[in-house]
Structure 1
Amino acid sequence: MSTTTTPLAPPKEPRDEGRMLGRLFGYIGGRGRRVKFWSAVGLRAISVVALTSVPAFTGAAVNAMRSGDSAALHTWVIGAIVAVGAYALFAGFAEFMMTRLATNATMNLQRDMFATMQRLSLNFFDRQPVGQLMSRVTNDTESVATFNENAVSQMMRGIFQVLLIVILMSVTNWRLTLAALSVVPVLLLVGAVVTRAAGPAYTRLQEQLGDLSGFQEETISGHRVLISTRRQDWAVHQHDLQAGEVFTTASKATFTGLLQFPATMAMTTIQMVVVLVVGGLLAAKGEADVGGVIAFVGLAGLLASPLSDLSNLATTTLSAIAAGRRVFEIVDDRPTVVDDPAAQPLTFTGGKVEFRDVDFSYVPGRQILRKNTFTALPGQKIGICGPTGAGKSTIINILTRYYDVDAGEVLVDDQPLTAVTIGSLRANVGMVLQEAFLFSDTIMNNLRYAREGATESDCIAAAKEANAHEFIEALPDGYDTMLVERGANLSQGQRQMLTIARAMVARPRILILDEATSNVDTRTEKLIQEGLRRLMTGTTSFVIAHRLSTISDADSILVVDQGTIVQQGTHDDLLTQDGLYRNLWFSQFKGKA
């Protein structure tokens, strides 16, 4: 199969920060979570009111102390203590609720992304390196999780505090309020500059993390090749280069984002000095009482903290926005191969398969199959052979409707594939591929994956038919043996027998085999061949052959070259023709027919 691997196009740098934040917030306080979210918001608002009332109580206590009113002094002091206690109580509950909402939001986002990936068509995965996808599932959602669990709560608290403090300042003394807010335009300007400068850096950082994850996944999967070719040092060097690029980009992005913090601290310090000077002058002129000035200074001091917190959120928020773009590129994707609204379940009557003038291309303009026509009658064994890259696997991918054809038609039992539901088609198709894939689960559960509702007896019977029962029973835990990733704790022949047994559990009507007996010893190959013969009984079978001896008994052989079926016929018929099949046969058997 020939495909082109092109990663998802990197997002342009649109000014969509607000929209992206809105989508992220939607996972926290969207439908089904609004009551809890607004309850947390209400508790946070109450806690902020309690906190910002402390300077007012303090100012009133100072005035009461200056006037010698001890009763009022006690009242205001008790009020301040109660306000602090109320703040701690309500803020604690709000934080607890927001943390639960944020954690749930991250889980839902990961689930939506994973669920979308399970529904997408195969061409999506053709375009995406596994490492890049894993980075989006892990690194990008981790960035979003950090934002959800920390930044959202701080952002709510900061915004509430700033708004309420500004209101209280205005009520207390409007002239001091103007003095205190004189630094805000500078802070807004710094924030805009930092966002514009750091945003692209964070986007680039997430992409580089994806590249690094892809390289790590590739080298771990291919560690045997690295060892056999003594390329471990090269792999370490390449890893260091990519990790160095990530470090450099992360440093630049973080440094740019953190510029906002010292700017905020400087501005809030200047703000406090301005408030003290102006407040002192007003008090000296008798235009403000000392208690009022002290209360205002307390409010100004409270304003510094949320402004500082909000500035510190720049890096976390920018990182989450960059990660969110990459996550939602997947969440928003849709499958290209879908059921027609009028599609009906496949009515299986025997397993006749027809290709009628089929054209196909993975990438527009780069045709892979051209005008291919053939018919497989029910119960026939069809061999498919040809040079590497000829289009053999592509024919199978179209038969299973992993892709839709560009032109022509594919039919099963006289029903066009586009007229039947995809699920009903694939429920009747079984596959045994050259690379046996097994999940990290027990042998029994691996067999049950083939058919929902398969019983233990069904699986054991299938294993016996596939000649796998004997070696399974010899394992310490038998059918409860836990397989490691891809079944690496079994031999290749054992893995292949398990995949044959799994296909038998599925009870397919149409069977696809891709050189299922390659690279195993003679005795194991004999056992596998016996299992395959039992599996093929009563099915329409397609066998992709690299060794022509495995299809010499086929009812019909399709010889594919450069995307076209150039010959069709039985083994004996094709050997009498001066064509590609004859050349391939004699090249494999050195002239011995």
Structure 2
Amino acid sequence: MSESSRKETTSTRVAGPPVRRHGPGAGASMPAEKALNFGPSAKKLLRRLAPHRIGLAAVLLLGILSVGLSVLGPKLLGQGTNLIFEGVISKKLPPGLTQDQVISGLRASGQGAQADLLSGMHLTPGIGVDLDALGMVLLGVLAIYVFSSVFGWLQAYVLNEVVQKSMYSLRQGVEHKINRLPLGYYDKMQRGELLSRVTNDIDNVAQSLQQTFSQMVTSLLTVIGVLVMMLVVSPMLTLIAVVAIPLTIVITTLVAKRSQKLFVAQWKHTGELNAHIEENYTGHSLVKVFGRQAETNAVLDSKNQELYQASFGAQFVSGIIQPSMMFVGNLTYVAIAVVGGMFVAGGSMRLGDVQAFLQYSRQVTQPLTQLGSMANLVQSGIASAERVFELLEAEEQSADPIAAQSPRGGSGELVFENVSFSYSPEKPLIENVSLTAEPGHTIAIVRPTGAGKTTLVNLIMRFYELDSGRITLDGVDIAAMTRDDLRQRMGMVLQDAWLFGGTIRENIAYGRPEATEEEIIDAATATYVDRFVRSLPEGYDTVLTDEAENVSAGERQLITIARAFLAKPNVLILDEATSSVDTRTEVLVQQAMAALRSDRTSFVIAHRLSTIRDADLILVMDAGHIVEQGTHDELLAAGGAYFELYNAQFALPVDDGP
């Protein structure tokens, strides 16, 4: 992202500790989107098409050829009408006379109106319709329309390729952007809202470009070409037709301004509705357990009603454009027909020219009407494009250092030196934390929720950047390393077991795709995954569903632990990793972890203190500070905060007697 873009982009830093809104009914109210900035967003969208300049030039050239030929059609058809009409009139005139003699005779007999009518024609008295000339005109018209259609088809083909390649590039850009966004962005963005921008909004941009770009080019070229031909046929009638153009522009502008905000609201409410549905689908069991179906449905009805009102208003207001412009076009058509008829009667125009001009008047109002009818699609597409650009212009995580350093050893020594961090300057979270994690040691972090335990681990992974101090890995500041290098040396098992739709084998090998079958089975055996996988009909080829509901929560957790085992990291981070397994399995997993932790640094976050008795160092955190540290026995003997936590978990209830 350029420096100027960074200055224009609103900071995505959260105002407090991250709140993950993935629960049922979460995020019932979202901040209102800003009003659509149509011009800049449209320019950004057009810049997305810039790499395909050759294709766009071809679209323009083919459009000029197609429109240029099509506007010649009415002129030639008018010539055919003149041949037929004047041939019929000529047949009825006395043969052997010239046109001037016939006209003079009519004036002499007092038939001045008929004389004026004939004076504007090309007549040969006594001779009928020139069929050869008429045939050539019709063949010319046929050829013109055939080639015009071929060029139009080629234009649509090239444009489709340009649009689809541009959208392919846009999707790639969004994918790359998502990987460069800091964790704080996801903490404040609802998952359904983000998915709506990545899918619905990009699809809407593609559809809008596909349906409107070619038509806009064709319509604009048609207006220009038709105006030129109208001037050639009759400058006077052209003045009548041109009067309607400013009127249609005024109507379009007034209506478009009103509908812009409605289209922004439409896509904003679409994103909110998607977020609500996605969250409640994910937590549908929880909704039923607490009997919150009625409240959830009420929120859904409210958001659905908001979307309905915004969509109805946007479509209704923008839909006013087309009938209004059709009305103006019909008035113009009538005016041209009346004035043109008077010109023909006065001999200043031929009938075929008036016919051609009437066709041109339709051709000039039709594209204007089409441009008006496309206003809703254009505004909808730009509104979606702006939402996508907001994502693309969000503040990214800091770039990796150019001259990145990399630890030479792989022992996994981690040192915190006066580390401070906060989500908001007004609310410090971690202040001046210093500690050393020796290679092969297990560091346990305990304390109530909100004390900064998980945040401390996130700082190790560089999900967030430090406010002050530094963290070193094997003597190298992690800020001087690339994130990929740092995270390849880390293994992390979260409380929420994340598995993707694929086989159990693929999920275990996610961190090391090149791992052999033997290594996968060894890791599964060490973490007691192998024993339940063997009982499945398909074994390691068992395909997990999207939510991995065909295995238990504990089995899902074991698979994620096996994945970390297989990666063989220098530093292992376990964030409540055994919270979903039963007590017996937990003991087995702890034994396996003891072997894994050999020559590796391990950080264990746990509320269940029984899982950290054997830790080399236990850190007790409170309000972002380390208030106690030591071994299990040392902390119990000290009788401090750890002693209180331990007794709270394991003290027997007092028997008050009968």
Query: For this structure pair, what is the TM-score category when the shorter chain's length is used for normalisation?
Result: over 0.9
1: distance between equivalents of 2:509 and 2:578?
Answer: 23
* Residue 543 (structure 1) aligns with: 604
Please say if 1:100 is aligned against 2:161.
yes
* Residue 258 (structure 2) aligns with: 197
Residue ranges of structure 2 left out of the alignment (5+ in a row) = 1-15, 21-26, 87-122, 124-128, 654-658
* Residue 649 (structure 2) aligns with: 588
- CA shift digits 1:381-431 (9 cap, x unpaired): 101000111000000000111111101111111211111221111111101
For the structure 1 residues 519 and 443, does the alpha-carbon distance in structure 2 shift closer, same or farther, using more than 3 Å as the test?
Answer: closer
Give 1:137 deviation, angstroms.
1.3
Mapping 1:84-163, distance limit 5 Å: 84-163=145-224
Give 1:510 deviation, angstroms.
0.3
* Residue 55 (structure 1) aligns with: 74
2: distance between equivalents of 1:219 and 1:190?
Answer: 44
* Residue 24 (structure 1) aligns with: 45
2: distance between equivalents of 1:303 and 1:354?
Answer: 75
Q: For 1:430, what is the secondary structure of its paired residue?
A: strand
CA contact (8 A) 1:4 1:363 kept: no
Give 1:591 deviation, angstroms.
6.8
Q: For 1:513, what is the secondary structure of its paired residue?
A: strand
- CA shift digits 1:459-486 (9 cap, x unpaired): 2221122221232232222222111123
* Residue 187 (structure 1) aligns with: 248
CA contact (8 A) 1:466 1:497 kept: yes
- CA shift digits 1:293-341 (9 cap, x unpaired): 2111111122232112111101111111111110011122342233122
Q: For 1:276, what is the secondary structure of its paired residue?
A: helix
Return the letter of the residue paired with 2:17: S
Q: Return the index of the structure with the highest Cα Rg.
A: 2
For the structure 1 residues 486 and 530, does the alpha-carbon distance in structure 2 shift closer, same or farther, using more than 3 Å as the test?
Answer: farther
Mapping 1:342-353, distance limit 5 Å: 342-353=403-414
Return the letter of the residue paired with 1:60: Q
* Residue 419 (structure 1) aligns with: 480
2: distance between equivalents of 1:178 and 1:319?
Answer: 35
- CA shift digits 1:420-466 (9 cap, x unpaired): 22111111110111221111111122122102432333222211222
Please say if 1:573 is aligned against 2:634.
yes
Structure 2 length normalisation: TM-score?
Answer: 0.86
Give 1:101 deviation, angstroms.
2.7
Question: In percent, how many aligned pairs have the same letter?
Answer: 34
Q: For 1:485, what is the secondary structure of its paired residue?
A: coil
Q: For 1:487, what is the secondary structure of its paired residue?
A: coil
Give 1:181 deviation, angstroms.
1.0
Mapping 1:336-347, distance limit 5 Å: 336-347=397-408
CA contact (8 A) 1:105 1:148 kept: no
Q: 2:321 aligns with which of 260, 274, 279?
A: 260
Structure 1 length normalisation: TM-score?
Answer: 0.95
Give 1:527 deviation, angstroms.
3.1
2: distance between equivalents of 1:8 and 1:140?
Answer: 18
Return the letter of the residue paired with 2:322: F
Give 1:9 deviation, angstroms.
6.8
Please say if 1:392 is aligned against 2:453.
yes
Return the letter of the residue paired with 2:71: T
Q: Quick check: 42-51 or 542-551, which moved more? A: 42-51
Q: For 1:365, what is the secondary structure of its paired residue?
A: coil
* Residue 2 (structure 1) aligns with: 17
* Residue 291 (structure 1) aligns with: 352
Query: How many residues in Structure 1 have an aligned counterpart in Structure 2?
Result: 589
Give 1:148 deviation, angstroms.
1.9
2: distance between equivalents of 1:380 and 1:338?
Answer: 32
Please say if 1:517 is aligned against 2:578.
yes
Return the letter of the residue paired with 1:185: P
Q: 1:239 aligns with which of 294, 300, 314?
A: 300
2: distance between equivalents of 1:297 and 1:392?
Answer: 79
Please say if 1:70 is aligned against 2:70.
no
Mapping 1:263-278, distance limit 5 Å: 263-278=324-339
1: distance between equivalents of 2:616 and 2:523?
Answer: 26
Return the letter of the residue paired with 1:531: A
2: distance between equivalents of 1:145 and 1:408?
Answer: 47
For the structure 1 residues 512 and 153, does the alpha-carbon distance in structure 2 shift closer, same or farther, using more than 3 Å as the test?
Answer: same
Give 1:142 deviation, angstroms.
2.3
* Residue 278 (structure 2) aligns with: 217
Return the letter of the residue paired with 1:45: I
1: distance between equivalents of 2:407 and 2:424?
Answer: 29
1: distance between equivalents of 2:211 and 2:588?
Answer: 59
CA contact (8 A) 2:248 2:368 kept: no
Q: For 1:559, what is the secondary structure of its paired residue?
A: strand
Q: Quick check: 222-231 or 282-291, which moved more? A: 282-291
* Residue 13 (structure 1) aligns with: 35
Give 1:349 deviation, angstroms.
4.2
What CA RMSD, in Å, does the superposition of the two structures yield over aligned residues?
2.0
CA contact (8 A) 1:11 1:325 kept: no
2: distance between equivalents of 1:53 and 1:26?
Answer: 34
2: distance between equivalents of 1:520 and 1:469?
Answer: 15
Q: 1:559 aligns with which of 607, 613, 620?
A: 620
Mapping 1:299-448, distance limit 5 Å: 299-448=360-509
Return the letter of the residue paired with 2:50: G
Please say if 1:44 is aligned against 2:63.
yes
Give 1:128 deviation, angstroms.
0.6
Q: Quick check: 366-375 or 389-398, which moved more? A: 366-375
1: distance between equivalents of 2:249 and 2:426?
Answer: 50
Q: For 1:371, what is the secondary structure of its paired residue?
A: strand
Give 1:88 deviation, angstroms.
2.1
Give 1:91 deviation, angstroms.
1.5
1: distance between equivalents of 2:595 and 2:549?
Answer: 26
Q: For 2:512, what is the secondary structure of its paired residue?
A: coil
CA contact (8 A) 1:500 1:535 kept: no
Give 1:214 deviation, angstroms.
0.8
2: distance between equivalents of 1:124 and 1:41?
Answer: 41
Q: Quick check: 61-70 or 288-297, which moved more? A: 61-70
1: distance between equivalents of 2:410 and 2:565?
Answer: 19
Please say if 1:480 is aligned against 2:541.
yes
CA contact (8 A) 1:191 1:260 kept: yes
Return the letter of the residue paired with 1:36: G
CA contact (8 A) 1:24 1:324 kept: yes
Give 1:212 deviation, angstroms.
0.6
Q: For 2:638, what is the secondary structure of its paired residue?
A: coil
* Residue 551 (structure 2) aligns with: 490
Q: For 2:222, what is the secondary structure of its paired residue?
A: helix
For the structure 1 residues 142 and 447, does the alpha-carbon distance in structure 2 shift closer, same or farther, using more than 3 Å as the test?
Answer: same
Return the letter of the residue paired with 1:408: G
2: distance between equivalents of 1:454 and 1:330?
Answer: 36
2: distance between equivalents of 1:457 and 1:158?
Answer: 66
2: distance between equivalents of 1:90 and 1:208?
Answer: 41
For the structure 1 residues 366 and 174, does the alpha-carbon distance in structure 2 shift closer, same or farther, using more than 3 Å as the test?
Answer: farther
2: distance between equivalents of 1:555 and 1:362?
Answer: 30
Give 1:22 deviation, angstroms.
3.1
Q: Quick check: 2-11 or 249-258, which moved more? A: 2-11
For the structure 1 residues 8 and 360, does the alpha-carbon distance in structure 2 shift closer, same or farther, using more than 3 Å as the test?
Answer: farther
CA contact (8 A) 1:51 1:87 kept: yes
2: distance between equivalents of 1:543 and 1:503?
Answer: 14
CA contact (8 A) 2:451 2:622 kept: yes
2: distance between equivalents of 1:287 and 1:366?
Answer: 86
Q: For 1:388, what is the secondary structure of its paired residue?
A: coil
Give 1:359 deviation, angstroms.
1.1
CA contact (8 A) 1:106 1:148 kept: no
Return the letter of the residue paired with 2:507: N
2: distance between equivalents of 1:58 and 1:12?
Answer: 53
